[in-house]
Chains A and B, each alone.
Chain A
């Protein structure tokens, strides 16, 4: 009790000392990084969970490429279930001269069965829930679409052959894709208007869906009743399926972000350990005095712990506030990626942040506190009496335990924990060795050039261990920032350069055989070479070597997906330009024998098939047997229409076929697309330029958000620097006073200190530039299969940024020591 009173009484003034501030900030930083990420992922997770219930707008959804038979609906109604129908297809819609690829969704009166549609009366005004659907003759359109078309509420859009009036802005519908997945904005149309568009016909890509909702038992009974009669082409989804997938994606994002936050947390931990050491050191005199006045060891440790815990609590509060604001900032940057408002975050991250702070403070500050407790009271008479340093095993053990506990709370998997922890130890070990090497190099280069230079570089070398830690800590923070800033743009550029100049930028899909001539004529009239038309037949794989594709074993889960999805088959007489034969033989152009198939190599690998294997497909109710005669590698960057399965000529002659085509159209020629789509409304035009642009903006925004998280890493690096400078401040003060007493000018002392930090910063920049380049190289070559050119801009930014940042923060941290009047310092010593 006495101890607590003492601790509280002196706390206010303790807050003024440098190491306490650094300690406080380090705790706050760690908490901020964790809570920012925690709040963010919590909100995204909640939104995923909320949408999982709504994402189908129903309890169960049957989706079919064919119109929904009346019996299904009747079966549902027989079970006392509510039903609704939707028809969805992609189409280009128009407003005047503007056009945009759009998801057109026709819905019946009852839609949606779960969740609510939200609309607003005007762009960017308050949204509200509605329990109705657009009146016939009107549509509700996405804000993004309206912006793209340059229209507002009240204007008309052409959907196929009809003009429909935009009656409201569609801000949310339950079954919209979450976040990044859907690129095309959508419009909601009354189902009654759909036939009038003329876009619903044989071969058009309409997805028909029956939505069903009601009592859980009834839903299950209904499904059991219809399950047998459903054709293979019908896809059934219930709530569990959809929440599982979205949940897994959110989970992955959460882990990635949390691990990035962990880097900042670990750096903060280093700063905490350093400033706790200093905290203990500064209090030794007071502790010795307290002991001489009769304070027990328990008193000492209690008082110190109370102060550290108070610091921790303060740090947690500051950290939570900062983390919360950072999260707000990040979500506002990401705003247009999430098509709906995110739910407010819960308080769970605060608990995680506080627990983490506690773990860090205990693990990293405890050794220093224990040492403090052992301060000999003799110190009041002999200033050189210091407590024995804490054992290395104790220090390493308690900090390692803290890191492990922290990581476990984030990773939640023992094996992963061992791997990550092991990896971190190895990496930090290597980095530390590199840091030490740099320090040695700096020490070597101090010959000649004046007092300031020698004094500065000697300082770096003398505090070898701390210098190395600072270089590594700062270097790490800088690495991740460089990686995101430069490498992202470089990778995008390098990817775009790898694309062919003449690579097609427009895809035409869903072309009926009889439309080919007229489409070719339209392009030729506009002075554009008519594209080649590539045939496409939709099919579903039934067996592989006689085994059912549903029950078969696959080497990779992707293989199962590949075999079970609806496949697009094509045929060709010759091997396409962007294809390379890997194994087997291509067929003769006039091949007439039993049907053969050439399979893309990765698909073959994932499905576990090879030359000579038998693939059976169901096409329009008939089974076709194919033998694999070759494997191909495809250059997807060519942007040519390519297929996993290409068949020998003649094999698909008797089946319904549509064609796809790709071509390059310059900006000023884009009008031809309008003519095309007006003449052939069921043909879908996919504008790759627009999609690329959108992908680019998504990547930009997402990486900006991640970058915001990494700013914490840099800040933690700065905290380490401050902590390190703090721990040398007495020494620096004394040295500076000595030098000045000897007649060295203040300017020279300052120059020396700046030289020291410049050297540290330069080394950190070197480490960061090298690290970012190597990581970028690995990412480019292994992940994206791109060439990577080492970029001078990155090195320039790394070296300059490192030097300037460290110089400025170092100067701020050390300026008190430089400016102290020599007499004061020397007298106190």
Chain B
């Protein structure tokens, strides 16, 4: 572990992160000079208007993509210094995801979907662990069903079970309730916060929903690629 870095104490840190993409119309700066850090166990909401760069930031924090400049630290590793497989390994160890569009593997059943990260992270007894967490999201009876046989809310519960299964240090969620009705969305979020509290996972939640954002410890506001508000800094 690299201790002499300013971000080493935090579980997640962005240092001067800038993302520029080249398009036919010229270079486009999507994120400029973003820096912040999150300590272990916190829950943080990323808010901002559509197109502000929230998803892009999430991708960079999780090592799904590389910034044009700047560094990202995750669970003691500098993601930006790793190659693709290195970042994949870091994700397998430390990251869980919940997506707006659920993203379950259609050819695997609910149980097998939940087992995936456990197996990728080489955890033992993947089947038992997966079964346990499926029970925690209330789907123990549906374990053999394939994604096509599940409703949207059920799919998202499987996705949450999968995200928490390998006990990641950080859980990223990009508008997890965006495709669900309000009631189901609430239920899903309750499950998420509950699991988060029980396991002291760090939660990074991108959302448009202000009530949801308020349930988090801290709120970061983006606009046009700039970090415009940080509830912690204000407080």
Contacts and interface: CB of A to CB of B under 8 A. Distances in A.
A296 B82 CA distance: 13
Nearest to A14: B107
A152 interface: no
Q: Helix, strand, loop or mixed for chain B's interface? A: helix
B91 A293 contact: yes
Contacts of A10: 105, 107-108, 112
Interface in A297-333: 297-299
A9 interface: yes
8 contacts: A2-B119, A9-B112, A10-B105, A292-B91, A293-B97, A294-B120, A296-B88, A299-B120
Given A2-B120, A9-B112, A380 B106 contact: no
Nearest to B63: A377
Contacts of A299: 120
Interface in B127-185: 146, 162, 174
Contacts of B90: 294
Contacts of A297: 84-85, 88
Nearest to B163: A293
Interface string B213-228: 0000000000000000
B121 interface: yes
Interface stretch (B37-45, B54-62, B191-199): B54-62
A381 B88 contact: no
Task: Specify which of A11, A289, A298, A381 lies most central, judged by the most chain B CB atoms within 10 Å of its CB.
Answer: A381
B64 A286 contact: no
A380 B55 CA distance: 10
A5 B103 contact: no
Contacts of A286: 105-107
Contacts of A298: 85
A121 interface: no
A296 B85 contact: yes
Contacts of A534: none
Contacts of A381: 55, 58-59, 64, 99, 174
B92 interface: yes
Interface of B: 55, 58-59, 62, 64-65, 84-85, 88-93, 95, 97, 99, 103, 105-108, 112, 116-117, 119-121, 146, 162, 174
Contacts of A295: 88, 92, 120
A193 interface: no
Interface residues of A, number: 28
B120 A293 contact: yes
A295 B116 CA distance: 9
Contacts of B88: 291, 294-297, 377
Interface string A368-390: 00000000111011100000000
Nearest to A307: B107
A290 interface: yes
A377 B64 contact: yes
Interface of A: 2, 5-6, 9-14, 285-286, 289-299, 376-378, 380-382
Nearest to B119: A2
Given A285-B103, A293-B92, A13 B146 contact: yes
Nearest to B60: A378
B111 to A, nearest CB: 10
Contact of B64 (A12, A290, A296, A378): A378
Given A13-B107, A286-B106, A294-B88, A382 B120 contact: no
A290 B106 CA distance: 12
Contact of B103 (A2, A13, A378, A380): A380
A397 B162 CA distance: 41
B52 to A, nearest CB: 14
Nearest to A2: B119
B222 to A, nearest CB: 15
A4 to B, nearest CB: 11
B211 to A, nearest CB: 24
A382 B103 CA distance: 12
B89 A296 contact: yes
Contacts of A296: 85, 88-89
Contacts of B97: 292-293, 380
A5 B85 CA distance: 20
A9 B58 CA distance: 31
Nearest to A5: B119
Nearest to A827: B179
A13 B145 CA distance: 12
B112 to A, nearest CB: 6
A2 B103 CA distance: 20
Contacts of B59: 378, 381-382
A554 B39 CA distance: 96
Nearest to A828: B101
A720 to B, nearest CB: 26
A2 B117 CA distance: 11
Given A13-B107, A293-B91, 19 more contacts: A2-B120, A6-B116, A10-B105, A10-B112, A12-B107, A286-B107, A290-B120, A291-B64, A293-B162, A294-B89, A294-B91, A294-B95, A296-B85, A296-B89, A297-B84, A377-B84, A377-B88, A378-B65, A381-B58
- Of all A-B residue pairs in the complex, the 5 with the closest CB atoms, nearest first, are A294-B92, A10-B107, A13-B107, A294-B91, A377-B64
Contacts of B58: 381
